[in-house]
A = this chain, B = another copy of it.
Amino acid sequence: MWDRFLRACRRESVDATPVWFMRQAGRYMPEYRKLRERHTLLEICKQPDLATEVTLQPVRAHKVDAAILFADILLPLEPMGAPFEFAAGEGPRFFEPVRDRKGVEKLRVIEPREDLAYVLEAVTSIRRELDGKTPLIGFAGAPFTLASYLIEGGKSSQFSKTKSFMYGEPELWGQLMTKLSEVVRRFLLAQIEAGAQAVQVFDSWVGQLSPADYREFIQPYLRPVFAALEPTGVPVIHFGTDTSTLLELQLETGGSVIGADWRIPLDVVRARLGNGVAIQGNLDPNLLSAPRERLHAGVRAVLAAAGTAPGHIFNLGHGIFPHTPPAAVSEVTDLVHTLTSERTSHTSGGTFGT
């Protein structure tokens, strides 16, 4: 069933639970590492033929039910006026972190059709190559997660500079988030127009905030993004990590699928969010490197917690690590398909016990 993933997003019945993996294209794959010998990460993102090739690698190697555009959540920030580099082994580094009014005012609300044309060309090219056999997911970073990189100047563990900015200059924070929100809105709409059949909003670091802060500093700027996507009818996945205390607020903010990390069992997610939304997740990515029996038990536990109601997309709780054995990715994909198609044919949940 080619559209198993899209059907699950819409909470329609499926022949087996769909599977894809965050960061399913990337450093854990030998095919990708080979390409990286000759090209930087940004070169691959910016050349539609290379981005297409890398997007397709995991679709060829594993029986995943969706392709996800190879890109980086930070790409829109460069044309906005905040260039960065990927320092070897250290993640992104912004040359001029945004710390004051001048920094915020300098940021340009870009037009993705012009400023990120290479991403949209990749979307169209990937769709052509996939030829209707596998749906394509587009994506963008959420305003908070993007703001945190801009303000910290890179990855952070305490998010102190971001929170200082937010608490100290709430009006300026609003300006920054409004600009980012508008860019994310435009970018996701443009990806859908170019052919993305679903999109994921990565609010990867929003779980650093208390519910009260989420309501005040995030929701007003994130809601318009989801509201703008709704009329397209395209499934929208709303993902974050560490969000156990934010789930209801995230649902209220928007999205047809809520993604959760491995910290919260999916039966708890389901009980808290109800049946009006699909859920995605949530194997601990570290389990992909565990012994076979342990990995299988982990997969079974996720499926058992997800239950048999329609609307579960199997995924990890966060992205694949570079040290992951590719064989484990294939194995999990096959195992989920086997276990859940058995379930469909026998209408029995008995094989799912953990």
Q: Complex: how many Å from CA A11 to CA B311?
A: 45
Contacts of A159 in B (CB 8 A): 286
Cβ of A245: which chain B residues have Cβ within 8 Å of it? 244, 263-265, 268
For the complex formed, measure the closest distance between the CB of A156 and the CB atoms of chain B, giving whole angstroms: 10
A 136-171 contacts with B by CB, 8 A: 157-160, 163-164, 167-168
* Residues of the B chain whose Cβ atoms lie less than 8 Å from the Cβ of A87: none
Does A211 lie at the interface of the complex (its beta carbon under 8 Å from any beta carbon of B)?
yes
Q: Please name all residues of chain B whose beta carbon is closer than 8 Å to the beta carbon of A284 when the two chains form the complex.
A: 163, 210, 213
Q: Provide the bound-state CA to CA distance between A244 and B207, in Å.
A: 11
The listed residue with most B CB atoms (<10 A of its CB), out of A158, A168, A242, A263, is A263
Q: Check A309 for interface membership: any CB of B closer than 8 A.
A: no
| CB of A352 closer than 8 Å to a CB of B | no
Q: How far is the CA of A207 from the CA of B243 in the complex (A)?
A: 12
Is A286 a contact of B210 with CB atoms below 8 Å?
A: no
Residues of B within 8 A of A354 (CB): 212
The count of chain A contact residues (Cβ–Cβ below 8 Å) is 34
Q: Which of A127-135, A230-238, A288-296 lies on the face that meets chain B? A: A288-296
Within residues 315 to 340 of chain A, which ones have a CB less than 8 A from any CB in chain B?
A: 321, 323
Contact across chains for A286 and B212 when beta carbons are under 8 A apart? no
Chain B residue numbers with a CB within 8 Å of A209 are 263
The distance from the CB of A268 to the nearest CB of chain B, in whole angstroms, is 7
C-alpha spacing A245/B168, complex, angstroms: 31
Question: Looking at the complex, which one of B207, B211, B212, B291 makes contact with A167 (CB distance below 8 Å)?
Answer: B291
Instruction: Confirm or deny: A287 has a beta carbon within 8 angstroms of a beta carbon on chain B.
Output: yes
Let me know if A207 and B263 touch, CB within 8 A.
yes
Complex interface: chain B residues within 8 A of A321 (CB): 158, 160
* A138–B245 alpha-carbon span in the complex (Å): 30
Copies of this protein in the assembly total 2
Nearest CB of B to A354, in Å: 8
Task: Give the chain B neighbours of A158 by CB distance below 8 A.
Answer: 286, 321
Q: Does A74 contact B (CB under 8 A)?
A: no
- Partner of A263 from B164, B210, B294 at Cβ < 8 Å: B210
Please measure, in the bound complex, the distance between the C-alpha atom of A168 and the C-alpha atom of B295, giving whole angstroms: 10
Known: A157-B157, A284-B163, A286-B160. A265 touches B211 (CB 8 A): yes
List A residues at the B interface (Cβ < 8 Å): 157-160, 163-164, 167-168, 207-213, 242, 244-245, 262-265, 268, 284, 286-287, 289-291, 294, 301, 321, 323, 354
Task: List 18 interface pairs A-B (beta carbons < 8 Å), by A numbering.
Answer: A158-B286, A158-B321, A160-B321, A160-B323, A163-B284, A164-B289, A164-B290, A167-B286, A167-B289, A167-B290, A167-B291, A168-B294, A207-B263, A210-B263, A211-B265, A212-B301, A244-B263, A245-B264
Given contacts A244-B264, A245-B265, 18 further A-B contacts (CB under 8 A): A158-B286, A160-B286, A160-B321, A163-B284, A163-B286, A163-B290, A164-B290, A167-B287, A167-B290, A168-B289, A168-B290, A168-B291, A208-B263, A210-B263, A210-B265, A211-B263, A242-B263, A244-B244
